[in-house]
Amino acid sequence: MREDRTREDLVDFARSRGGRLLTETYDGWGALHRWVCGRDHSFKASPRLLVDGGYWCPECLPTVEDASGWDWDFHAEVDPLLARFHQSRP
């Protein structure tokens, strides 16, 4: 169980992706929370999907069905986590 998590953990996580957590309370690891990405897209997702699953904003990120739209520069501009690895690329 991951119920030792707090809202602060989610706030930190969202910040690490260049976004924010909009939901005012922590409702559970599998519960839908509202987030906003670094490009001001608002979306609902569970912490489990985002933290354990590695997903983020559905408007910014390419889907599994169509991954052709991936653009490191576009994402690294607003996402500190991706920027860190983008910059470390040779």
By CB under 5 A, how many residues form the interface with Zn ion?
6
The minimum distance between CB 70 and Zn ion, in angstroms, equals: 14
76 lies in the binding site for Zn ion (CB under 5 A): no
10 lies in the binding site for Zn ion (CB under 5 A): no
DSSP state of 51: I
Q: Which residues contact 72 (CB under 8 A, 6 or more apart)?
A: 82, 86, 89
Site map (CB under 5 A) of Zn ion, residues 46-65, x = contact: -----------x-xx-----
37 lies in the binding site for Zn ion (CB under 5 A): yes
3-state secondary structure of 1: coil
The minimum distance between CB 3 and Zn ion, in angstroms, equals: 28
| Nearest-angstrom CA–CA distance, 7 and 72 | 29
| Nearest-angstrom CA–CA distance, 34 and 55 | 14
Binding site for Zn ion (CB under 5 A): 37, 39, 41, 57, 59-60
